[in-house]
Chains A and B, each alone.
Chain A
Amino acid sequence: MATAQSRRLARWMSMPAIIVLLLWMVVPLAMTLYFSFRRYNLNYPDRQGWAGWNNYYYFLTDPAFAAAFQNTLVLVIGVLIITVVGGILLALLLDQPFWGQGIVRVLVIAPFFVMPTVSALVWKNMFMNPVNGLFAHAAQAVGLQPIDFLGHHPLSSIVGIVAWAWLPFATLILLTALQSLDREQIEASEMDGAGFGARFFYIILPHMTRSITVVILIQTIFLLGIYAEILVTTNGGPGTQSMNLPYLIAVTTTQQDVGGAAAGGVIAIILANIVAIFLMRMIGKNLES
């Protein structure tokens, strides 16, 4: 497969993809970096010039940044905990033999295919609405005061909505991992006298470690960028209670503050890259095998 002719051909064939991705990566990145050091507001086109670290200074010292940073962490970690723990439990359940496996699988996966704006709006109105939502009806039926979820617990509510959308992803991947576990290993451990608990902690969990890591890393990449759910539910509010970094940067862009938004963008890139490095190592290892 490795004649000089095919090599030359291969180089030409991979060129288009490499070139467009290179442009896609380098051009915006360079521009973001450049703007982040510029005074540049679309509303005041005459005020231009170098801003030094000012954009970073204003972005980082904005009280909204601290809140957004914290909220981003809560959002990512909260959703991760729910989806990973829930995903493991669900995978264990769905791996058992039962009637209608195919149908239940389909039901469980479904939320993943719901577009973020739909899932957020459905939850916001049909479930969490303090007057007409299902939860309000349920609370009234047992004589409780309905809770204004998005008004009083905006961040936890968003965590719930996002977790619902990502639980299928975690379940699906962990179930796949579980099904690849050699049944003979389980049988051997049973012969060795391992009960369910021991089997889970010594055989099943170690087998799933890799997949769990993959789930965590990939979800983190996506969860760091959560935007639509916040836009349609709370707009980041009340105040900055449910504002995360992408939302804050988007808001800064909307205010036409290009320099500030670019500085925020650079910070988001740095944060994402910290996660990305781990993910890339994992996948890179897989590539060798």
Chain B
Amino acid sequence: MARAVTPQRKATVTVLAWVVGLVIFFPILWTVLLSFKTEADAIGTPWHVLASSWTTEAYATVQQRSDYLHHFWNSVILSLGSTVIGLIIGIPSAWAMAFVPGKRTKDVLMWMLSTKMMPATGVLVPIYLIGIKTGLLDTRTGLVIVLTLINLPIIIWMLYTYFKEIPGEILEAARMDGASLWNEIRYVLTPMAIPGIASTLLLNVILSWNEAFWTLRLTTTNAAPLTAFIASYSSPEGLFFAKLSAASTLAIAPILILGWFSQKQLVRGLTFGAVK
């Protein structure tokens, strides 16, 4: 039961919380603001920035750079592709471990997690060489494979913790009720698992979208997603604040929106179920 709080106290907390929240959010807000300015206005003092007129010029310029859409599509394909493949491999595995646990299930789970602990830099060299040998370097296929593998442990763990919450008795009831394995999956398991699968999908799209080691190291132009595209602004073009802001806004907006939807699941997913 929430206890009554004095209005004064609530007002103080409200002001404080909003100030802190806005300060933390400010860099994003400022980026969005600058993206609607001309290059000349964007580098002015804050007062000048606020007072100057608004324009979508920067977006038009970014749009005209024919490669923006290319990188955007790369991001979409990489994040969705790796997540969907991860789910296809991960769902049966998580199902099996959650509902038919064996003696070694726990060890297998821990081992899967341990592959996630391997630092990317530790295996960069062989992956790079394999990439060269197989011709998968700077291809979307190659990167989808890598992203699938680095996120598979998280996918399996998240699904496992969700599946674990589905009481085994319900599946037994379905079996008693005469459901075949296929019907059990179709009518009972899937509807109950969909929320968990959806949040797993969401979180993994976010993680893959923002992945910025492999996407930077294994691509040059062909398969480069937005992370790499934005990185190309690092030196001279960075001075074009408005364009940088517009490109950044476009790169983070979709995932920001997805992220807000998934904030509850985020905790569970990122802590491998250790915090719910």
Q: Judge A-B direct contact (beta carbons within 8 Å).
A: yes
Query: Which A residues form the contact surface with B (CB < 8 A)?
Result: 1-2, 6-7, 9-11, 13-14, 16-18, 20-21, 24-25, 27-29, 31-32, 35, 90, 93-94, 96-101, 103-119, 121-127, 132, 134, 137, 141, 164, 167-169, 172-173, 176-177, 180, 183, 210-211, 214, 218, 221, 224-225, 227-228, 231-233, 245-246, 249-250, 253, 258, 261-262, 264-266, 268-269, 271-273, 275-276, 279-280, 282-284, 286-288
Q: Which of A10, A169, A264, A286 sits near B273, CB closer than 8 Å?
A: A286
| Given A264-B121, A280-B110, A283-B272, A113 contacting B206 (CB threshold 8 A) | yes
Interface stretch (choices B59-67, B134-142, B190-198, B212-220): B212-220
Residue B122 lies at the interface, judged by CB distance under 8 Å to chain A: yes
* The 8 nearest A-B residue pairs measured at CB: A31-B126, A276-B117, A228-B212, A10-B96, A10-B100, A17-B93, A13-B92, A113-B259
Q: When A269-B122, A272-B122 are in contact, do A97 and B241 touch as well, CB less than 8 Å?
A: no
Contact in complex: A14, B92 (CB < 8 Å): yes
Instruction: Say yes or no: A116 contacts B30, CB within 8 Å.
Output: no
Residues of A within 8 A of B189 (CB): none
Q: How far is the CA of A124 from the CA of B14 in the complex (A)?
A: 31
The interface residues of chain A, by DSSP majority, are classed as helix
Q: Are A14 and B230 in contact (CB under 8 A)?
A: no
Bound Cα distance from A211 to B112, whole angstroms: 22
Asked if B125 is at the interface of the complex by the 8 Å CB criterion, the answer is yes
Residues of A with C-beta under 8 A to B168: 1
Residues of B close to A141: CB separation below 8 A: 45
Residue B263 interfacial (CB < 8 Å)? yes
Instruction: Tell me whether A121 and B123 are in contact (CB under 8 A).
Output: no
With A108-B20, A126-B241, A280-B110 as known contacts, state yes or no: A137 contacts B45, CB within 8 Å.
yes
Contacts A16-B92, A113-B252, A249-B121 hold; do A100 and B231 have CB atoms under 8 A apart?
no
From B14, B109, B152, A98 is in contact (CB under 8 Å) with: B14
Q: Which of B232-276 contact A (CB under 8 A)?
A: 233-234, 238-239, 241, 244-245, 248, 251-252, 255-256, 258-260, 263, 266-267, 270-276
For A176, what are the chain B residues with a Cβ–Cβ distance below 8 Å?
267, 275-276
Q: Are A35 and B99 touching (Cβ within 8 A)? A: no
Pairwise interchain contact A10-B99, C-beta atoms closer than 8 A:
yes
Contact yes or no, B109 A113, CB < 8 A: no
A231 adjacent to B231 (CB under 8 Å): yes
New contact pairs (10) apart from A32-B122, A225-B213, A265-B125, CB-CB < 8 Å: A1-B171, A14-B97, A98-B14, A104-B21, A127-B27, A231-B234, A249-B121, A261-B124, A265-B122, A287-B109
Whose C-beta in chain A lies nearest to the C-beta of B112? A21
Q: Are A280 and B13 in contact (CB under 8 A)?
A: no
Q: Are B119 and A272 in contact (CB under 8 A)?
A: yes
B69 at the interface (CB under 8 A from A): no
B117 touches A20 (CB 8 A): no
B residues with CB within 8 A of A: 1-2, 5, 10, 13-14, 16-18, 20-22, 24-25, 27-28, 30-31, 34, 43, 45-46, 89-90, 92-93, 95-97, 99-100, 102, 106, 108-130, 149, 152-153, 156, 168, 171-172, 181, 206, 209-210, 212-213, 216-217, 226-228, 230-231, 233-234, 238-239, 241, 244-245, 248, 251-252, 255-256, 258-260, 263, 266-267, 270-276
B212 and A117 contacting across the interface, CB-CB below 8 Å: yes
Pick from B217, B241, B263: contact of A106, CB under 8 Å: B263
Across the interface, B149 reaches (CB within 8 A) one of A9, A20, A286, namely: A20
